[in-house]
Amino acid sequence: MSKYGNLIYYKQTKARTDHNCTNCHQLIKAGDIYYAENIKDKFLHSLHRKKFCNQCYQAMEQKKGELNNAFGA
């Protein structure tokens, strides 16, 4: 986890141009839904925010849920 890892959240976004998924490098076409990394603090910003396709985002959320269940959170 990075220094500002607890401030990061992922926002559902509709693509206006083509992008590549940061995780699997699948093409995200214009008009598709993807999840972009955002930071809660308005004074911090990311120059190269991560973009995840729907499948990678769902897998990431499922893994996070399994970890939370394992640790009783």
How would DSSP label each residue in 7-38? GEEEEEEE-SS-EE-TTT--EE-TT-EEEEEE
pLDDT in the model for residue 69:
75
List pLDDT tens digits, range 25-43: 999 999 999 999 888 877 7
List pLDDT tens digits, range 5-26: 778 889 999 999 999 999 999 9
* Domain positions in the chain: 5-70
CA separation for the pair 40, 25 (Å, rounded)? 26
